[in-house]
Amino acid sequence: MGTEALSVRMPKLSSSRPLLETARRSGLAVAALNFYNAETLIAHVRAARALNASIILQTTESTINYLGLPMIVGMANAAAEEIEQAVSLHLDHGGSYELAARCIDRGYTSVMIDGSKLSFSENCALTRRVSELAHAHGVSVEGELGHVTHNDESVGDDIARFYTRPEDAAQFVAETDVDALAVAIGTAHGFYKGEVRLDFDRLKQIRTSVGETALVLHGGSGVPEHLLRRAIQCGISKINFGTELKDAFTRAVKTSFSTSDDIDLRRTFAPAIAAVQEISQAKIRICSERQ
């Protein structure tokens, strides 16, 4: 019996930096989509394939605790094999150096370290440590300056005190060597309770102050399309989406259970996958297609 060479497929996941650089130079952005289980991941894969687009797949620490790093990385690598364009696996809102290190060690290609609630000097020091480790392994790093609040937080009338200052952004980027910077200009995490107001003048100033560093907008869910497009025009290269995706999935599953006694989860989850895919495609279009 003859022997055949074993074909080994290498992981396709990319660091996020080349995706963001391409988007920035093109005046576009990359949609960063959080996933929570196999079904939401399938939805994002189908959306990216339908539009032949690059995406950034994201998980928070809560999802890591739920699925485990080996499962997440394995799923993301499998997903990347099904998408023609480059895909990155990103840690969203990493809360510690140790978590970022674990993700880097396991195969994440991009990590965020969120020191936004620390003092400026402490945030710089923590982010710089993560950058040094990540860059040594070819992994991209995102930091956050200013504080993107949650809609459930009580922040009073002076929300602008949480916003990113352009002069601080320039110093932060210089001291930390981050590849991307999440900025606070008026967005928030969770469901918005009133009109969304974004400080585009501030964003333009930050864009100028940080040179070629990519800028990230958190709290993209619920922001009207025209504001997202304007944010991209003003220099945003990555927009995060999570809340709308979870909401669409949960609503569809509830409907499935309320209208049928079918216990086949593949049929129960099918409408939920379709609902998330529809939103994912809409967000990818906003980010990657010109008006």
Active-site annotation, residues: 92
Single-letter code of the amino acid located at 105: D
Single-letter code of the amino acid located at 291: Q
Locus of tokens 């990347």? 80
Q: What are phi and psi of 139, to 5 degrees?
A: -105, 140
Is 274 in contact with 253 (CB distance < 8 Å)?
A: no
**Residue 267 half-sphere exposure, CB side, CA atoms within 13 Å?**
7
Is 188 in contact with 152 (CB distance < 8 Å)?
A: no
Give the whole-angstrom CA distance, residue 126 versus residue 25: 29
Is 220 in contact with 255 (CB distance < 8 Å)?
A: no
10 Å Cβ neighbour count for 259? 9
